[in-house]
Amino acid sequence: MPTPRARTAAPLLASALAAALLGATPALAAPAAPPAANPPTATRHQVEAFTEDGTISRTTVPGASPFTAPPAPGIAPLKGDGDVTALVRNGAPADKLDVVVIGDGYTAEEQDRFRADAAEKWREITAVEPYATYRGLFNVWAVSAVSPESGVSGDPDQGTVRHTALGAYFWCDGVERLLCVDDKAVDRYAAKAPQADLVLVVANSAKYGGAGYNDLTSPLGYEGIATVAGGNARSGQIAVHETGHSLGKLADEYAYDGQGTYQGAEPAEANISTLTADRMREQGTKWSRWLGRTSPDGGTVGTYEGGGYYPAGLYRPTENSIMRSLGREFNLPGREAMIAGFYRHATPLTSATPTDTWLTAADHLSVDLPVTGTRLRWYLDGRELTELRGRTALDLAAVRPSAHRPFPRLPYLLTAVATDPTPAVADPDLRENLTAGLSWLVTL
Task: List pLDDT tens digits, range 393-442.
Answer: 999 998 888 766 666 678 999 999 999 999 999 999 999 899 999 999 99
Q: How far is CA 152 from CA 115, 253, 278, 376, 393, in A?
A: 17, 31, 51, 49, 50
What phi, psi does 211 have (nearest 5°)?
A: -160, 160
Exposed / middle / buried, residue 29 (Cβ in 10 Å: 0-12, 13-18, 19+): middle
* Of residues 55 and 151, more confidently modeled: 151
* Cα–Cα distance for residue pair 118/193, rounded to 1 Å: 15
On whether the CB atoms of residues 280 and 288 are closer than 8 A, the answer is yes
* Cα–Cα distance for residue pair 395/385, rounded to 1 Å: 14
Which DSSP state fits 203?
Answer: E
* Cα–Cα distance for residue pair 304/211, rounded to 1 Å: 27
Residue 123's region, left for phi above 0, alpha for psi from -120 to 50, else beta, is alpha
pLDDT tens digits, one per residue of 257-306: 889 999 999 999 999 999 999 999 999 999 999 999 999 999 999 999 99
On whether the CB atoms of residues 166 and 186 are closer than 8 A, the answer is yes
Q: How confident is the model at residue 38 (pLDDT cuts 50, 70, 90)?
A: very low
pLDDT at residue number 64:
87
* Cα–Cα distance for residue pair 262/387, rounded to 1 Å: 57
- Please check the confidence at residue 333 and state whether its pLDDT lies above 50: yes
Q: What's the sign of the alpha-carbon dihedral 271, 272, 275, 278?
A: positive
Above pLDDT 90, what percent of the chain? 72
Q: What's the sign of the alpha-carbon dihedral 400, 403, 407, 408?
A: positive
Classify 84 as helix, strand or coil: strand
> Alpha helix locations (H) across 303-394?
332-345
Give the H/E segment covering residue 242: helix 236-246
Closest among 209, 204, 243 to 228, alpha carbons compared? 209
pLDDT at residue number 202:
97
On whether the CB atoms of residues 376 and 348 are closer than 8 A, the answer is no
pLDDT at residue number 82:
95
* Cα–Cα distance for residue pair 253/320, rounded to 1 Å: 8
- Please check the confidence at residue 24 and state whether its pLDDT lies above 90: no
pLDDT tens digits, one per residue of 119-134: 999 999 999 999 999 9
Which residues lie closer than 8 Å to 74 by C-beta, 6 or more apart?
Answer: none
- Please check the confidence at residue 324 and state whether its pLDDT lies above 80: yes
Mean pLDDT for 188-209 is 96
Provide the angle, in degrees to the nearest 10, between the axes of the packed helices 236-246 and 111-125: 60
Burial 48-77 (b: 16+ CB within 10 A, else e): bbbbeebebeebebbbbbbbbbebeeeeee
Closest among 348, 372, 334, 167 to 243, alpha carbons compared? 334
Question: Which domains are delineated in the chain?
Answer: 11-25+348-443 (2.60.40.10), 44-246 (3.40.390.10)
Amino acid at 343: Y
Bridge partners, 46 (sequence order): 60
Length of the chain: 444
pLDDT tens digits, one per residue of 48-72: 777 777 788 778 888 889 889 876 6
* Cα–Cα distance for residue pair 102/141, rounded to 1 Å: 8
